[in-house]
Structure 1
Amino acid sequence: MTTLTPRVHDADGSRLVAYDLGATLAEWDLDGEPVLWLSDRAVLDGSAPLRGGIPICFPWFAAGPEGDRSPSHGLVRTATWRSAEPADEEVWAWEVGSADVSGAERLTGPFELRYAVGLRPGREAMGRELLVALAVTNPADAPLTVEAALHTYLAVEDVRATRVLGLDGVEYYDKVDGVRRVQRGPLTFTGETDRVYDSGAEAGIVVDDGSRQLHLRPAGATQAVVWNPWAERCAEVADLADDAWQRFVCVETAATAHRSLTVPPGGTSTLSCTFAARPRSTT
């Protein structure tokens, strides 16, 4: 059985682990503590997307706008991306195009993707800040409309004691019960959660688990997706331990459905997010 070969980078208290499969950043540890969460049952033989880290969803999210696309979350999570030359603060960069992915051009039209992972000096953060960016280029003569998401798994001590701030007043679609609502106050977790917020949240999102705060600064997004499967759904997923739902929450930088990306001919659109971990404020 094949085992994927990891890329590893250690610098200034940060440890990054990534794989060319899906250009997946699987781990980010800061001062020995995980910021990104990776399942201890993650499949590392190339037969399935990695469960954890930051998988890339493209050119559709879930089953697509009409609910008829397969595999879930698109075609590039299981493609082997080519290494590209990093620039500036980038640690790694990858590229992949529609010509590299069977059936992609027929389903969406041609595209070229570049994904980069970088570290920058932390301002108030411990160690450094993490930056991830997905650039979508349209080489065709017609507009390209696609869904995209950075499906980020964040490590928390206990999701039941976790709050997500920065989405107050934002309308969202609750995929659990099919109802549209408006967020009032911080988001807390009491059961299965699968919400698509109609905001790019460029003012920032804070995930507070009671011991630290994870600060997210998305850019280029039209939505934020928040997901946790809770106990019953978690037990149905082979690459999740039955109690794994307690230790992560997904907060995703996204553009889906009626807020998909439309990239003009010859143009490029970029979805990115910067992450920092800070001790919880006592004030």
Structure 2
Amino acid sequence: MSETAPTLVPHVHESDRSRLVAYDHGAHLVEWTVDGRRVVWVSDEAVLDGSAPIRGGVPICFPWFAGGPQDDLTPSHGVVRTATWRPTETDGAEVWAWELDSSDVIEAPGAEHLPGPFRARYAVALEQEDGTETLVLRLRLTNTGPDDYRAEAALHTYLAVDDVRQVRVLGLEGAGYLDKVTGEHEVQDGPVTMEGETDRVYERSGPVTLADADGRALLELRPGGAAQTVVWNPWADQAVRLADLGDEEWTRFVCVETVARGERALTLRAGDTTEVSCRMVPLLSPTA
């Protein structure tokens, strides 16, 4: 991370196998290591003074993804990822939980584009599954207003890899996708591999497995509550344009995101609560 002394105060949790680090800024999980190896990746150049989104970890996108349905909304990925969330009481295996509502962001840039009032609760949990410690992220969204509305949401997960050019994403074979680099609609043929800038919205929600070039499974992601999966990496040419990303850091991560956007956005009915989640199961720790 940046060598400049951060002003944000981190939350740190350690178990027998896992280490987690998060901030109230964006309710942002920035680190998950298992047995000393990174699973969730964050940039060494990440801005940690609260003045900008944090590059890496798991940004929360709401109530729009990227520039929204018409790609004309700012800030990118909505207003909650740079808001200061309030820590709240945890339940069960939850390590941390936060709350935020529309009144907390009413003065934020972009608040005029909120589709309606909301209350959000986000939790980070470590749960045991067949003797394996798994990470579970849950974003609960409640429409606190009198009218139904639609909103986009995502858990924008950055995953650590040795070299993005040598990894495969399994589970999306045969899925249709929008290639946002070319603007074309395609159908996935075989595992997803990356040979250049990658920004694809798959019309499938998993489960998805991250594997190395030899086909060894590294991590399984099981999304819930959202119908799409986004696979993203900026590659070298785009990476140099990002001030909070080292020139060579693009090789060290791939984003495999749980997403509800566009025609697959969430329908939030008046008074109802919906949940977007992702469970991550380490199969082979990917990188130091």
Relative to the length of structure 1, the TM-score reads: 0.94
Residues 144 and 156 of structure 1, relative CA distance in 2, 3 Å threshold: same
Kept after mapping to 2: 8 A contact 1:141/1:266: yes
Deviations, residues 149-205 of structure 1 (Å, cap 9, x unaligned)? 00000000111110000001111000000000111110001000000011122xx10
Q: Paired residue for 1:140, among 145, 158, 176?
A: 145
Distance apart, 1:66 and its partner CA: 1.1
Displacement of 1:279 in angstroms is 2.6
1:118 paired residue among 122, 125, 142 = 125
Q: 1:256-283 CA deviation, whole Å, 9 max, x = no partner? A: 0111001111101100000011139xxx
Q: Which residue of 175, 184, 191 corresponds with 2:189?
A: 184
Letter in 2 for 1:234: A
Match of residue 263, structure 1, among 265, 268, 273: 268
Q: 2:66 aligns with which of 62, 77, 102?
A: 62
Map 1:80-159 → 2, pairs under 5 A:
80-102=84-106, 104=111, 107-123=114-130, 125=132, 128-159=133-164
Q: CA deviation at 1:62?
A: 0.6
Amino acid at match of 2:53: P
Instruction: Name the CA distance, whole Å, in 2 between partners of 1:124 and 1:226.
Output: 29
Q: 2:219·2:283 contact (CA, 8 Å) conserved in 1? A: yes
Identical positions, percent? 55
Q: Answer whether contact 1:98 1:105 (CA < 8 A) is retained.
A: no
Note if contact 2:203-2:227 (Cα within 8 Å) is conserved in structure 1.
Answer: yes
CA distance in 1, matches of 2:282, 2:27: 23
Aligned with 1:275 (options 280, 283, 288): 280
Paired residue secondary structure (2:209): strand
Query: Which of residues 181, 198, 201 is equivalent to 2:203?
Result: 198
Query: What's the secondary structure of 2:13's corresponding residue?
Result: strand
Q: How many residues align?
A: 276
Structure 1 unaligned spans of 5+: none
Give the AA of the match of 2:120.
L
Structure 2: distance between partners of 1:70 and 1:217: 29
Measure how far apart 1:124 and its partner are: 6.0
Q: Distance in 2 between matches of 1:156 and 1:36?
A: 9
2: distance between equivalents of 1:17 and 1:57?
19
| 4+ residue segments displaced more than 3 Å | 103-106
User: Could you tell me which residue of structure 2 aligns to residue 208 of structure 1?
Assistant: 211
Instruction: Give structure 2 stretches of 5+ with no counterpart.
Output: none
Contact preservation (8 Å) 1:99, 1:105: no
In structure 2, C-alpha distance between the alignment counterparts of 1:118 and 1:144, rounded to whole Å: 29
**Aligned counterparts of 1:118 and 1:253: Cα–Cα separation in 2:** 17
**SS class of match (2:279):** strand
SS of residue matched to 1:188:
coil
Aligned CA RMSD, in angstroms, stands at 1.4
TM-score computed with the length of structure 2 as normaliser: 0.93
Query: CA–CA distance in 2 between the matches of 1:198 and 1:53?
Result: 23
**2:96–2:124 Cα contact (<8 Å) kept:** yes
> Would the aligned equivalents of 2:209 and 2:217 in 1 still touch at CA under 8 Å?
no
CA distance in 1, matches of 2:253, 2:284: 18
How far has the Cα of 1:2 moved from its partner?
6.0
Task: Select the residue among 220, 223, 226 that pairs with 1:221.
Answer: 226
Whether 1:43 aligns to 2:47 is: yes
